[in-house]
Amino acid sequence: MKFILSFIFCITVVIAQNPVTQIDSVTGLPVTLNEIIVTGEKGSDNPGFGKKIDLSGGFGGYYNSLEEVVNGNFSVFVKDYGGAASAKLLSYRGLSSENSLVLFNGARMNDLRYGGFDLSAFSMSDISSAEFSSSYSASGDISTGGVLSLESRGEKSNGLKFTQKFDNTGLSSSTINGSLTTGNLQVSVAGERMWSANRFDYEFEGKINERENAHYNKTFASVSAIYTFKDFVADIYSNYSFFAAGVPGFVVTNNTSSSQASNTTTGSLSVLRLTGPLFTNSGFEVVTSYNHQLYKFEDPNVNYYKYLDYDDSKLNTYSINLKAFASFGDIKITSGYGFEKGELRDIKTALSNNRKETSLSRNFHRFSAGFRYSPVILPSIISDFAITGGINADIFSQTGIGSNDESRTSYSAGVFVSPTFYTPLSVKAHLYKTTRIPSFNEYYYSSVFSASDIRPERSTGFEAGIVIDDIKIVKGEVSLVYFRIETEDKIIWVPSMIALQVPRNIAKTVSSGLEFGISISILSDAVVVTGNYVYLDAENISPFGTTDKSNGKQLLYSPEHRVNSSITYKTGGLAITMGNRISSESYFTFDNDPLSTIAGNSVFDFKTEYRFNFFNVGQTASLSVYNLFNENYRIIQSYPMPLRTFIFLTH
Domain at 6-257+266-278+286-303+318-650, CATH class: mainly beta
Q: Of 196-200, 455-459, 487-491, 560-564, which has the strongest mean pLDDT?
A: 560-564
Looking at the predicted structure, is the pLDDT value of residue 572 above 60? Answer: yes
- Model pLDDT, residue 588: 85
Looking at the predicted structure, is the pLDDT value of residue 362 above 60? Answer: yes
Stated as kind and residue range, the H or E segment containing 21 is strand 20-23
pLDDT band at 498 (very low <50, low <70, confident <90, very high): low
Higher pLDDT, 624 or 580: 580
Higher pLDDT, 228 or 644: 228
pLDDT band at 288 (very low <50, low <70, confident <90, very high): very high
Nearest to 276 by CA among 236, 230, 336, 225: 230
Contact 646, 624 (CB under 8 A): yes
574 contact partners, CB below 8 Å, separation of at least 6: 608, 609, 610, 611
Contact 384, 424 (CB under 8 A): no
Looking at the predicted structure, is the pLDDT value of residue 95 above 60? Answer: yes
| SS (HEC) of 430-481 | EEEEEEECCCHHHHHHHCCCCCCCCCCEEEEEEEEEEEECCCCCCEEEEEEE
Region 470-477 average pLDDT:
83
Contact 590, 564 (CB under 8 A): no
Region 268-277 average pLDDT:
95
- Model pLDDT, residue 252: 42
Q: Of 19-28, 269-278, 435-444, which has the strongest mean pLDDT?
A: 269-278
Q: What is the pLDDT of residues 587-621, one digit of tens each?
A: 988 888 888 899 999 999 998 888 888 777 667 77
| Extents of the domains making up the chain | 6-257+266-278+286-303+318-650
Helix (H/G/I), strand (E/B), else coil: 358 = coil
The chain-wide mean pLDDT, for the chain, equals 80
- Model pLDDT, residue 602: 96
- Model pLDDT, residue 276: 93
What is the residue-wise DSSP string for 590-617?
TT--TTSEE--EEEEEEEEEEEEEETTE
Contact 197, 166 (CB under 8 A): no
pLDDT band at 113 (very low <50, low <70, confident <90, very high): confident
pLDDT band at 11 (very low <50, low <70, confident <90, very high): very low
Higher pLDDT, 43 or 177: 177
pLDDT band at 301 (very low <50, low <70, confident <90, very high): low
- Model pLDDT, residue 16: 33
CA torsion angle for 543, 545, 550, 552 (degrees, to 10)?
A: 30
Region 4-19 average pLDDT:
36
- Model pLDDT, residue 415: 93
Looking at the predicted structure, is the pLDDT value of residue 560 above 50? Answer: yes
- Model pLDDT, residue 349: 56
- Give the separation between CA 145 and CA 93, rounded to whole angstroms: 7
Region 251-280 average pLDDT:
75
- Model pLDDT, residue 45: 56
- Give the separation between CA 410 and CA 434, rounded to whole angstroms: 4
Least confident of 85-99, 233-247, 351-365, 454-468: 351-365
pLDDT band at 441 (very low <50, low <70, confident <90, very high): confident
- Model pLDDT, residue 567: 94
> What phi and psi, each to the nearest 5 degrees, are found at residue 405?
-135, 130
- Model pLDDT, residue 156: 58
How much of the chain, in percent, has pLDDT values that exceed 90?
38
Nearest to 44 by CA among 375, 358, 341: 375
∠ CA 179-149-236, nearest 5°, is 40
pLDDT band at 279 (very low <50, low <70, confident <90, very high): confident
Q: What is the pLDDT of residues 139-155, one digit of tens each?
A: 889 999 999 999 986 55
